[in-house]
Amino acid sequence: MREIIIDALGSDAGPQMVRDAIIKARSKIDFKATIVGPEGFFSDLLDDYEDFSLIDCNSFITNDESPALAIRRKKDSSTVLALNKLNERGDVFLTAGSTGALLAGGYFISKRLDNCKRACLAPTIPNINGDLIMADVGASMDVDPETLLQFAKITSAYAEKVLNKKNPALGLLNIGSEADKGDKRSRETFELLSASKLNFIGNIESRDIISCQADVIISEGFSGNIALKAMEGTAKELLSILKKTLMQNAKTKLAGLLIKNDLKKALSNLDYKKHGGAPLLGVKKALYKAHGNSNADSFALAIEEAINFAESGLMDYLREM
In the bound state with a second copy, the residue whose beta carbon lies nearer, of 67 and 277, is 67
Nearer to a second copy, 23 or 263 (CB): 263
CA distance 21 to 18: 5
Q: Rounded to the nearest whole angstrom, what is the least distance from the CB of residue 134 to a second copy in the complex?
A: 11
What minimum distance in Å lies between the beta carbon of 128 and a second copy? 7
**Phi then psi dihedrals of residue 127, to 5 deg:** -155, 135
Min CB(214)–a second copy separation in Å: 14
Q: Which is nearer to a second copy, 48 or 180 (CB)?
A: 180
DSSP 8-state secondary structure symbol assigned to residue 77: B
Task: Give the separation between CA 70 and CA 93, rounded to whole angstroms.
Answer: 18
Contact 156, 170 (CB under 8 A): yes
> For a second copy, which is the closer residue by CB, 195 or 238?
238
248 is an interface residue for a second copy by CB under 8 A: yes
Q: Which of 28, 111, 117, 236 binds a second copy (CB under 8 A)?
A: 236
How far from the centroid of its chain's Cα atoms is residue 308's Cα?
A: 13
Question: Is residue 183 close enough to count as binding a second copy by CB under 8 A?
Answer: yes
Asked whether the beta carbons of 174 and 209 are under 8 A apart, the reply is no
Q: How far is the CB of 256 from a second copy (least distance, A)?
A: 8
Tell me: does residue 229 bind a second copy (CB under 8 A).
yes
* Cβ neighbours for 13, distance < 8 A, ≥ 6 positions apart: 293, 294, 295
121, 179, 290, 291 from 277: Cα distances, Å? 10, 33, 4, 6
Of 72, 174, 133, give the one whose Cα is nearest residue 280.
133
Q: Which of 51, 76, 191, 232 binds a second copy (CB under 8 A)?
A: 232
Rule CB under 8 A: which residues touch a second copy? Answer: 126, 128, 138, 141-142, 173, 175, 182-184, 186, 205-211, 221-223, 225-239, 241-242, 244-246, 248-249, 251-252, 254-256, 258-259, 262-263, 266-267, 270
